[in-house]
Amino acid sequence: MRRTIAIDIGGNLEKVRDAIAGAAHAAGRSSDDVTLVAVSKRQPVELIAAAIAAGQRDFGESTMQEALPKLEQFRAEALVWHFIGHLQSNKARFVPGNFTWLHSLDSLALAQRLSRLAPAQGGALDALIEVNIARDPARHGVARERLVPLVEQLLRAPLPGIRLRGLMAIGPHPATEPELRAAFAGVRALRDECRQRFALSGFTELSMGMSSDFVPAIREGATLIRIGTAIFGSRSDAQT
């Protein structure tokens, strides 16, 4: 019989927040500049509720089928939901009105579809362009050389309801810390290039860093980090 095991969510969050503060201090930054997104995909609602009780407000999900019931269950809470997975066009209609952030914008067609849907939901969507910085064929995202042309397309198109806020990337794996820092620094440089070239004052965000590599990501400028295992334990631990 399956049962939810005891996991010290509050203690885990405290450890992660301490690590964020340490990494930010080492980089001469404030920890207030880093948003912790708790990746709650495939986690039971009991653990999400424990994280909420411990003060966590930003959560990340990667599939609509799993996310929508959770959003409904916690509708009364003042939460910020981030869609962090690859978004299929036929699922785009569920993003506006449910999610505040999309971390995986990767095409003009997807942006146009989201833009048509967003005004009907009465709010704007903060969107991050996903960059395949590791050039991993198994991952989604635009190649770094395609980023500037895509931004040009997005800016030429009328996209009401979509705010371009920055970039998202997954670091290379396996990789040494110097390799990770070089990759994350490359993402930061791409963001800065786009921000300067197109005079995008709001293009400030960098979603990069997960449980295994958020410290080097913060040291290289991450403003949003996506943490699952370090908070909730491994998915096999959540149920036994």
Distance CA 166, CA 218 (A): 15
Tens digit of each residue's pLDDT (9 = 90 or more) over 103-144: 999 999 999 999 998 877 667 899 999 999 988 888 999 999
Tens digit of each residue's pLDDT (9 = 90 or more) over 77-106: 999 999 999 999 899 999 999 999 999 999
DSSP summary character for residue 119: G
**Which residue shows structure tokens 């149920």?**
239
* pLDDT tier for residue 5 given thresholds of 50, 70 and 90: low
163: Cβ contacts below 8 Å, ≥ 6 apart: 124, 125, 126, 127, 202
Res 51 pLDDT > 60 = yes
- Which residues are registered as beta bridge partners of 164? 127
Whether 2 is covered by a domain: the verdict is no
The conformational region for residue 141 under phi > 0 = left, psi -120 to 50 = alpha, else beta, is left
Whether 154 is covered by a domain: the verdict is yes
Residue type, 209: G
Kindly state the percentage of the chain with pLDDT values over 70. Answer: 95
Res 1 pLDDT > 50 = no
The secondary element (H helix, E strand) that includes residue 78 is none
Whether 143 is covered by a domain: the verdict is yes
Res 157 pLDDT > 90 = yes
The distance of Cα 69 from the centroid of its chain, to the nearest Å, equals 20
What's the Cα-to-Cα distance from 166 to each of 51, 156, 203, rounded to whole Å? 27, 17, 5
Cβ proximity of 225 and 45 under 8 Å? no
Tens digit of each residue's pLDDT (9 = 90 or more) over 185-232: 999 999 999 999 999 999 999 999 999 999 999 999 999 999 999 999
State which residues form the domain around 128. 9-233
Res 240 pLDDT > 70 = no
Whether 201 is covered by a domain: the verdict is yes
pTM of the model: 0.94
Cβ proximity of 15 and 231 under 8 Å? no
Whether 239 is covered by a domain: the verdict is no
The CATH number assigned to the domain holding 213 equals: 3.20.20.10
DSSP strand pairing (162-169 vs 125-131) = parallel
* pLDDT tier for residue 150 given thresholds of 50, 70 and 90: very high
Provide the domain count of the chain.
1
Whether 238 is covered by a domain: the verdict is no
Given this model, what pLDDT does residue 134 score?
87
Given this model, what pLDDT does residue 2 score?
40
